[in-house]
A and B are shown apart, each in its own frame.
Chain A
Amino acid sequence: MRIGIDVGGTNTDAVILEGDRVVAACKSPTTEDVSSGISAALSTVLGESGVAASAIDAVMIGTTHFTNAVIERRRLLQVAAVRIGLPATRGVPPMTDWPGDLADVLGRHCYMLRGGHEFDGREIAPLDEAGLLDVAREIKAKGLRSAAITSVFSPVTAVMELRAAEILREECPGIALSLSHEIGRVGFLERENAAIMNACLADLSTKVVDSFRSALRHKGISAPFFISQNDGTLMTPEHVESYPVLTFASGPTNSMRGAARLAAIGDAMVVDIGGTTSDVGMLMQGFPRESAVAVDIGGVRTNFRMPDVLAIGLGGGSLVRDGGARIGPDSVGYEIMKKALVFGGDTLTTTDIVVAAGMADIGDRARVANIPAETIATALDTIHRMVDEAVDRMKTSADKLPVILVGGGAVLVSCDLPSASEVIRPENSGVANAIGAAIAQVGGEVDRIYAMEGRARDEVLDEAKAEASANAVVAGAIEGSVKIMDIEEVPLAYLPGSATRIRVKAVGDLAMKGAEA
């Protein structure tokens, strides 16, 4: 059996799965320390089902913790952004296109040094080691504890990033280092942005992974645990400590894959209504449609592969104003248990509206008896209109598709939607995220520049696919379950030879020590 846990900004959900069957599921509030919320959720599912901790084969955790930290600009470290590439790259300095407030929080410590490589591995300039020593001294003087190192064409050759890391580690013992070639792909600014964001999360990642670890130990669970990353595959805790940025946007992937599994449907629209926002996306053959354009996270441009989701400011904790005509985008978030009217608070939220309307039984209904009927009707109308518009925007054709409602706030939508062929509210839809985490797969990747001249395209692709599949098996996938998830070929135009960058991702089901697969 396996446990899936989703740690959201508002709720921590847990499920126990045996194959496809949900043995137990629960939802409890996310706590400030993360760990006690997980413990509480684990106690509930284990207690409810009577499953022994020793019967658990693996635990998969999805978390929005790191994304939220960046979006909210909270608990972030100041970062030394070290760029290696002068005299090239000076035209667009680090953090140029960042939102000002986020750049301020990170301290705008930008350093540009000589070095970097050309596409074919030649040096642009030798690494400026003397300059790097000056940077190291300044890092020490400023007391910075984390640095991001990005060198031109490091995905082709990483030697300068590695050498720079060696120097900084020597000069600034204990410094956390984020090397861009381990995080991103070709596309300098996007990779540098990801490395800088990763660096600002260095403290938080250790704390969060520790709290996961201690919560599990506390419950007597000794099975291995994994954390899901943005493409829906799993990472080890050690990997997350070093690369928290790779968990970005894993939430939408998990909830959409969970929704597909719950509804047993492959092509549909998914609306995941949380406490603060709703994510709307499209499922194609059980996987989320990916975004084709650069993805902004907290206002920063990245090139992560992510599901194409539209987030709207509607959730169970969204504030209701103007007699129900205006909803969100602000929310009471995880403080809903204190602030919503039904819980004895003084803030009118969407949850209060659905309780007052008799559509849900949450908290103390008597406390919302005084909400005018007109406000209730207007607010419900606003909620449905917001969801319907978002679904309509994310559809790729005018054809009506089924809409699967998931997430803790799914109760907000009670009527039909004009843009939907049908509205599906699967059982356990409140914990789709956790189910998505529990069914997450193991990935293997190949990302290399191939010389295509004189070779058949299919032959080269087959070679890359076989290698990616083998890597997935090494990472723990069951051999027969491995499938190719994504192939990307980027020919390097205007260059001699037929150099093509090929990236293949393979995924498979995680091998369990028990009988179940």
Chain B
Amino acid sequence: MKLNSQDLADLAVGAAFLGTGGGGDPYIGRQMVQLCLDEGLSVELVDPDDLDDDAFVIPTAMMGAPTVLVEKLPSGLEAIHSLQRLEKRIGRKATHTMPIEIGGINSTIPLLVGARLGLPIVDGDGMGRAFPELQMETFGVYGVSGSPMAVSNEWGDCALIEATDNKMMEWLSRGVAIRMGGAAYIAEYSMSGADVKRTAVPRTLTLAIQVGRVLREAKAQHVNPFEALLGFLPTTLYSYATIIYTGKITDMQRETKNGFSIGRARIEGSGAYDNVMEIEIQNENLIARVGGVVKAIVPDLICIMDSETAEPITTEGLRYGQRVTVISVSVPEIMRSPEALAVFGPACFGLDEPYTRIEDLTA
């Protein structure tokens, strides 16, 4: 499947939705990919099922602060450089690249790399949403090593990281990214086609494009976009989706702790919702509570959307007075196993509440 400009526009919306508040605005990534299309380059997606078992896939991404990215735009060559550095280290040419994270800006970086290098992009990723740290990958959960990893900046400076586990890789590369100005571009979790089939959350790029398309078409046809979205998701691996709250944002607290953007949004209910919902944020929306009772919890998606336009709102975009609708969506089973929850379940974010499926919370 070759992507066109409309697909890119839809992807930007769908990726923001799957980012659950985090992951950064895909706008800049989209511009870089659009320039590729304008030059006549193609962006080609490959279904994981169509991948040869001995294909060699090197995922690419940006790491660091989205607030830096929107100011210090990339040269566009950083992630390509990281991929090539890794090829050299491993002694093998990549046959494909793919996203490590579908939420936000990182849905677009591999498209840029693929278009520039003429590599097809695997339709899938390792987070199924957005997460703040690089060990929070289904790839790693099911045994793929993140290392060796390459971290590059706009000058072509590159750090090669060989860590004993993926958490140490995250720790070391984070330090490098800060030295590189707070945003850097990476290649990691290189693996075979067989590993991709076994460990990736499949078909999330096309999912994001479809989410964007469903919202766009609903608006064009004056159909309620929330109903359209809730009607569409059950046909995907994200099979359970429900509105958990509707109301107005009455307070937005933010602070930075250990490099994370921590926040708490207070939503005063309207209509059938006559209480207050509090959403805890750690870059992404982690947990939603009403009167201390959990209504949705990570890794299930908690998406805050503009009630009127159905635009997904990022953490940075949340403001007092916005009318919002909160949607929670079940993540695919590959992200809900005990092994997966040990890497990106509630306890990994310091939450006391155990993971409970959204299906069970709303039943």
Contacts and interface: CB of A to CB of B under 8 A. Distances in A.
Interface of A: 85-92, 96-97, 116, 118-120, 122, 124, 152-153, 186-189, 284, 289-290, 292-294, 393-397, 452, 457, 489-500
30 contacts: A88-B75, A90-B73, A91-B73, A91-B75, A91-B77, A92-B28, A92-B32, A92-B35, A92-B76, A96-B35, A119-B65, A119-B182, A120-B182, A152-B72, A153-B71, A187-B70, A188-B71, A188-B73, A189-B73, A292-B313, A490-B254, A491-B255, A492-B65, A492-B67, A493-B65, A494-B68, A494-B177, A495-B256, A498-B256, A500-B256
B354 interface: no
B73 A489 contact: no
B261 interface: yes
Contact of B72 (A188, A289, A496, A497): A188
Nearest to A491: B256
B257 A498 contact: yes
Question: Which of B76, B256, B260, B316 has the most A CB atoms < 10 Å from its CB?
Answer: B256
Contacts of A122: 181
A284 B321 contact: yes
Contact of A493 (B76, B155, B256): B256
Contacts of A495: 65, 68, 178, 182, 256, 259
Nearest to B30: A97
A396 B71 contact: no
Given A119-B68, A493-B260, A494-B174, A92 B182 contact: no
Question: Which of A394, A495, A497, A499 has the most B CB atoms < 10 Å from its CB?
Answer: A495
B213 interface: no
A169 B65 CA distance: 36
A394 B307 CA distance: 11
B64 interface: yes
B332 interface: no
B258 to A, nearest CB: 9
Contact of B154 (A87, A119, A284, A494): A87
A499 B261 CA distance: 10
Nearest to A91: B76
B317 A292 contact: yes
Contacts, number: 145
Contacts of A86: 75
Contact of A396 (B65, B262, B307): B307
A78 B319 CA distance: 37
B308 interface: yes
Contacts of B32: 91-92
Contact of B255 (A85, A187, A395, A457): A457
Given A92-B31, A492-B67, A494-B259, 19 more contacts: A87-B155, A88-B72, A88-B73, A89-B75, A91-B77, A97-B31, A118-B182, A152-B71, A187-B71, A397-B270, A397-B307, A452-B255, A452-B256, A457-B253, A492-B182, A493-B261, A494-B261, A497-B256, A498-B256
A500 B323 CA distance: 26
A380 B157 CA distance: 66
Interface string B154-176: 11000000000000000000100
Contacts of B74: 88-89, 91
B291 to A, nearest CB: 23
B73 A494 contact: no
Contacts of B307: 396-397
B254 A500 contact: yes
Question: Which of B71, B260, B316, B323 has the most A CB atoms < 10 Å from its CB?
Answer: B71
A503 to B, nearest CB: 12
A205 B35 CA distance: 34
Nearest to B32: A91
B44 interface: no
Sorted from nearest, which 7 A-B pairs have the closest CB atoms? A91-B76, A493-B261, A491-B256, A396-B323, A494-B65, A89-B73, A118-B181
B28 A496 contact: no
B84 interface: no
B322 interface: yes
Given A90-B75, A188-B72, A500-B256, A491 B261 contact: yes
Contacts of B257: 498
B67 A186 contact: yes
Classify chain B's interface size: 35 or more
A493 B308 CA distance: 29
A292 B306 contact: yes
Given A496-B178, A496-B259, A96 B31 contact: yes
Given A493-B260, A495-B182, A153 B321 contact: no
Contact of A494 (B31, B64, B271, B308): B64
A87 B75 contact: yes
A188 B255 contact: no
A86 B112 CA distance: 19
B278 interface: no
Nearest to B246: A397
B193 to A, nearest CB: 29
Nearest to A389: B222
A493 B66 contact: yes
A397 B323 contact: yes
Interface in B78-128: 112
Contacts of B300: none
Contacts of B155: 87
A493 B306 contact: no
B145 interface: no
Nearest to A501: B67
Nearest to A489: B254
B311 interface: yes
Question: Which of B67, B74, B259 has the most A CB atoms < 10 Å from its CB?
Answer: B67
B42 interface: no
Contacts of A91: 28, 31-32, 35, 73-77, 112
B283 interface: yes
Interface in B36-81: 64-68, 70-77
A432 B181 CA distance: 49
A410 to B, nearest CB: 25
A513 to B, nearest CB: 37
Contacts of B31: 91-92, 96-97
Contacts of A294: 27
Nearest to B70: A187
Nearest to B76: A91
Contacts of B321: 284, 289
Contacts of B35: 91-92, 96
Contacts of A187: 70-71
Interface in B192-231: none
A489 B308 CA distance: 25
Given A85-B72, A96-B35, A493-B261, A293 B317 contact: yes
